[in-house]
Amino acid sequence: MVISRGEVVSYLSMCAEEGVNLQRGMNYRLRGDYSVLLMSIRKGAPYADRIEDDGTVLIYEGHDLQSTKGGPNPKTNNQPMTNPAGGLTQNGLFYQAAIRFRNGHPPELVRVYEKIRAGVWVYNGVFKLEDAWLENSNSRRVFKFKLTVTDEDLASGDSDTDIEHTRLIPSGVKLEVWKRDNGQCVRCGSRDNLHFDHIIPYSRGGSSLVAENIQLLCARHNLQKRDRIE
């Protein structure tokens, strides 16, 4: 894989990484052996995604009926398991994958990208899809999917030994850091190949929850720093 967990990417770079034009948020088995989800926890985001358990768990909301001219308001209808032709929707495909995991099959591996502002995305890493259910929300039924972050690299099969990389930085913290650091590396001012970096690593007591412990570094300075405290 070309990009790494925590890397800031544009929409075009994200599409180039996945080899397709990503037109929807849920993409089951996009390239045959893994799936892709696009998430957002920004104010005004269309779905109620959330992070739990100190940044290790993503609760992802399923997606609505496709909006059609003269059709029903998608936000007033149950999220669909099947499409009009009877096949599974993306909700249904992910739901069935979660049920297979419950029944003892290997988990679906999912790459997750997060939108933090217009034109700015972050690659959040590889997750395991572990559960799914339907719940009531404003008089309708919506899908919820539980995904747990892993330390896997789908391209190499290696694990990331930096434990802080398996903790998601909250969206609000990412946005605060992006604004504070002016969208550039704090060391050299580069705006290319940026990463959200823990100043004090999680493994040494640093937090993912406060902007004071997160900074923007370019790839070169991020690799130089790695897991040491300066």
Query: For residue 171, what pLDDT band results from cuts at 50, 70 and 90?
Result: confident
Q: Which one of 160, 182, 197 terminates a domain?
A: 160
**What pLDDT is attached to residue 161?**
43
**What pLDDT is attached to residue 131?**
98
How remote is the C-alpha of 195 from its chain's centroid? 15
DSSP symbol at 143: E
Alpha helices in 103-227 (DSSP H): 171-180, 219-225
**What pLDDT is attached to residue 218?**
95
Q: Are 128 and 77 in contact (CB under 8 A)?
A: no
Residues 32, 125 share a domain? yes
Residues 168, 77 share a domain? no
**What pLDDT is attached to residue 153?**
65
What is the residue-averaged pLDDT of the chain? 88
* Residue 87 token pair: 């096949």
* Residue 156, pLDDT above cutoff 50: no
Residues 154, 172 share a domain? no
**What pLDDT is attached to residue 227?**
44
* Residue 1, pLDDT above cutoff 80: no
Query: For residue 195, what pLDDT band results from cuts at 50, 70 and 90?
Result: very high
Residues 1, 18 share a domain? yes
**What pLDDT is attached to residue 72?**
82
List CB contacts of 209: < 8 A, sequence separation 6 or more: 55, 169, 170, 173
**What pLDDT is attached to residue 165?**
53
Determine phi and psi for 78, rounding to 5 degrees.
Answer: -60, 145
**What pLDDT is attached to residue 166?**
57
The secondary structure of 57-122 as a DSSP string is EEEEE--PPPP-TTS--GGGSPPPSB-TTS-B-HHHHHHHHHHHHHTTPPPEEEEEEEEEETTEEE
**What pLDDT is attached to residue 34?**
94
Residues 189, 156 share a domain? no
- Classified as helix, coil or strand, 180 is helix
Q: Which one of 142, 160, 178 terminates a domain?
A: 160
CATH of the domain at 65: 2.30.280.10
Question: Which whole-number Å values give the CA distances from 24 to 30, 39, 74, 81, in the listed order?
Answer: 11, 10, 15, 16
* Residue 137 token pair: 């929300």
Q: Which one of 131, 160, 189 terminates a domain?
A: 160
Average pLDDT over residues 6-21: 92
* pTM for the whole structure: 0.87
Residues 182, 138 share a domain? no
Residues 223, 121 share a domain? no
Quote the domain boundaries for residue 97: 1-160
Residues 107, 20 share a domain? yes
Residues 168, 147 share a domain? no
Measure CA of the first residue to CA of the last residue in the chain; give whole Å: 29
CATH of the domain at 203: 3.40.1800
- Classified as helix, coil or strand, 203 is helix
Residues 74, 18 share a domain? yes
**What pLDDT is attached to residue 43?**
84
Average pLDDT over residues 111-120: 92
**What pLDDT is attached to residue 110?**
97
List CB contacts of 186: < 8 A, sequence separation 6 or more: 215, 216, 217
Question: Which whole-number Å values give the CA distances from 113 to 4, 10, 116, 125, in the listed order?
Answer: 11, 11, 10, 8
Query: For residue 159, what pLDDT band results from cuts at 50, 70 and 90?
Result: very low
**What pLDDT is attached to residue 160?**
46
What does the pLDDT look like over 199-209, one tens digit per residue?
988 778 888 88
Residues 191, 87 share a domain? no
Top pLDDT among 51 and 71 is at 51
Average pLDDT over residues 148-174: 67
Query: For residue 228, what pLDDT band results from cuts at 50, 70 and 90?
Result: low
Residues 92, 171 share a domain? no
Domains identified in the chain, total number = 2
